[in-house]
Structure 1
Amino acid sequence: MKIVMLEPLAVSEEVINDLSKGLKDQGHELIVYDSVTNDVEELKTRAKGADALIIANNPLPGEVIKSVDELKFISVAFTGVDHVDLKACSEKGVKVSNAAGYSNQSVAELVIGMIISKLRNIVECNEVIREGKTKDGLVGYELAGKTVGIVGTGAIGLRVAKLLKAFGCKLLGNNNSPSKEGEDLGIEYVSLDELLKASDIVTLHTPLTEATTHLINSENIKLLKPTALLVNCARGPVVDIEAVATALKEKKFAGAAIDVFEIEPPLATDHVLFGAESALLTPHIAFATAESMVKRAGITFDNIYTWMDGKQINTIL
């Protein structure tokens, strides 16, 4: 079979060689591209003749999928798959698996880091010390004892909950159905409105679906405490970014920490959040650690091997 990796997986050539050794030993062909392209014609050229494709977060439109007659399987080295035309895959009978779970720890650690950074004014402290100033006006807050609302208690939400519990936080949760593991961690499940009203910190961990698009919007954002912090390391469109920016500028709540946006960075220089001084912004790095990249590559190749054995894991389609 011919397997084509359409973009790099942010791991060394040695890791790829090790993971793909079994494919080569079995006589399969692996073609690896070391650059990302959004050019549809270039993607068609790269994918030509492939039985299976490996991608990360490079958009894969239906036009490309339909152009590859031999295509039977796509292994997505990412948790979300909204950048893949699943309708085209379904129509063509192409199976799709993702790499769920590879970055749970990495994302959870960034969430905690962002929260502490905001509570303790770390970015501001770095600036004032370099300007020869003192800590005046930069008294922070402890994380211990804070009420944290976790919207979405899947694997990442629960990992965040475990870390927050260690800090001594009170945990509220909102999910389609309460999680037994979440309840065992001490999460009290409440409605979204109740969670927004009661939380000192709200952290979002929902997948992006039609129902969760703009889950946080111009109406319910009014429920946040004036002292509240909103964290989004889930998916960009889960929040109405215009509503968040407006509320921050009007000081309706205290601050936000955002790692995901409506489009992938780089953002336009006039992006609406750049005018919100109380927003801590990072360029979609929650998943990006050396450890998680190796994990991700391993899952991605496991998907290929398992599919070749006539089975499928991490099934999306």
Structure 2
Amino acid sequence: MKLAIVEPIGINEAKCHELTEKILKNRVEVNYYNTPADDEEKIKRSQGAQAVMIANKPYKDNILMQCPDIKMLSVAFTGVDHVGMGYCRKKGIVVSNCSGYANEAVSELVMGMCIGLYRKLSECSSAVHTGKTSAGLLGMELCGKKFGVIGAGAIGLKTAALAKAFGCEVYCYKRNKPENSGYTFTDMDTILKTCDIISLHVPLNDSTKGLINSDKIKLMKKNAILINTARGPVVETQALAAALQSGSIAGAGVDVFDVEPPVSKENPLLTAPNIILTPHIGFDTKEALEKRAIIAFMNVAKWLDGMPQNVM
């Protein structure tokens, strides 16, 4: 049995060997690659492997069709929209994800973006570097603000907990309301209309693509900020950029884009005011990547035991 780790998953080779011995009990031959790969190289690296481990780069039908031995994909990521799921289901390929590994990492970035926007940290740093004072840099506090979470899954609820700890009044939206969450649940439009901060935590699928469009943004208050650490296509880029340019909303924090960074120089968010942009780092902490690797290896181990977990 062979396992091919075809792209970097945030651990070094020594850690890979440690997890192979500790979790997989050396039951499989592991081919470890810690360099990025294009589709052609991914095909080469996957040849002869029954199990393949990937991160967040595309692994679509054009790759899967060329790798007939694959029986299992361990996706070292939460979302699987970059995977050819239709093909996997058709061929009976088990796909397991690593949901939960970045709950803390993503939710902490959300709060960091909120503070960055409210306290104008980028402008403050620039003022110090250019010999200016605090003039014009009056900030705001999180405490007392209405904080809306759209997509109250594990990450959304973790974000809600942090917002509550900061003294925010938290409102949540989810299609299927969880029981005994301890938070006030309401409809999405109410959150958009009433909250000062709106944080998105929905998966990307047919129903969420373009979920936040120009009509939805028009519902937001003029002093509201929008944080997107979910998936880029959940928000219509042009609509968000236009709202920032016109001042119809106060600011935004964006960690995800329509395509993975580097972002095109033509992306209108690059010239929009009052925005914090990060190159998809929500999941990217030392602690989260270690958790992710363990889960990814456990997924393979459970599959070998005939009890696959985290199946998508």
Query: TM-score range with shorter-chain normalisation?
Result: over 0.9
- Given that 1:147 and 1:169 are in contact with CA atoms closer than 8 Å, whether structure 2 keeps it comes out as yes
- Residue 80 (structure 1) aligns with: 79
Asked if the contact 2:6–2:54 (Cα under 8 Å) also holds between the matched residues in 1, the reply is: yes
2:170 equivalent in structure 1: 171
SS at match of 1:280: strand
Once the 2 structures are TM-superposed, how far is the Cα of residue 63 of structure 1 from its aligned partner?
2.2
The residue that corresponds to 2:107 in the other structure is 108
CA RMSD of aligned residues (A): 1.2
| Alignment of structure 1 residues 263-282 onto 2, 5 Å | 263-282=259-278
Provide TM-score, normalisation by structure 1. 0.96
Q: Which amino acid aligns with 1:15?
A: K
CA distance in 2, matches of 1:9, 1:83: 15
Query: Residue 251 of structure 2 contacts residue 274 of structure 2 at CA under 8 Å; is this kept in 1?
Result: yes
* Paired amino acid for 1:94: I
Structure 2 Cα separation of the partners of residues 181 and 262 of structure 1: 35
Amino acid at match of 2:43: K
Could you tell me which runs of 5 or more consecutive residues in structure 1 were left unpaired when the two chains were aligned: none
Corresponding position of 1:225: 221
Q: How do residues 39-50 of structure 1 correspond to structure 2 at under 5 angstroms?
A: 39=39, 41-50=40-49
Match of 1:212 among 208, 213, 238: 208
Match of 2:18 in 1: 18
**Post-superposition CA distance 1:185-206 (Å, at most 9, x none):** xx22111111101000100011
Q: Which moved more, 1:61-70 or 1:107-116?
A: 61-70
Residue 62 of structure 2 aligns to a residue whose secondary structure is helix
Give the conservation status (yes or no) of the 8 Å contact 1:15–1:294: no
User: Deviation string for 1:264-307 (max 9, x for gaps)?
Assistant: 00011221101102111010001100000000000000000000
Is contact 1:24–1:30 with CA below 8 Å preserved after alignment? no
Q: Percent identity?
A: 43
Distance 2:217 2:23 in 1: 51
SS at match of 2:266: coil
1:93 Cα deviation after fit:
1.2
Check the 8 A contact 1:245/1:273 in 2, yes or no. yes
- Give the Cα–Cα distance (whole angstroms) in 1 for the partners of residues 281 and 69 of structure 2: 35
Deviations 1:5-57 (A, max 9, x none): 00111112222111011577545211011211123x32221111111000001
- 1:128 alignment counterpart: 127
The reply to whether residue 285 of structure 1 matches residue 288 of structure 2 is no
DSSP 3-state at the match of 1:180: coil
For residues 301 and 24 of structure 1, what CA distance do their matches in structure 2 show?
7
CA contact (8 A) 1:38 1:58 kept: no
Instruction: Read off the aligned partner of 2:111 and give its amino acid letter.
Output: I
Q: Is the 8 A contact 1:148 1:171 kept in 2?
A: yes
Distance change in 2, residues 1:126/1:27 (3 Å): same
Matching residue of 2:199: 203
Given residue 294 of structure 2, which amino acid in structure 1 is its aligned partner? G
CA contact (8 A) 2:12 2:34 kept: no
Structure 2 match to 1:28: 28
Per-residue deviation, residues 208-237 of structure 1 (Å, max 9, x unmatched): 111111111011110111100100011111
Query: Is 1:255 paired with 2:215?
Result: no
Superposed displacement of residue 108, structure 1? 0.6
- Measure the CA separation in 1 of the matches of 2:220 and 2:25: 57
Partner residue in 2 for 1:63: 62
Aligned residues: 312
Q: CA deviation at 1:99?
A: 0.5
Partner SS for 2:217? helix
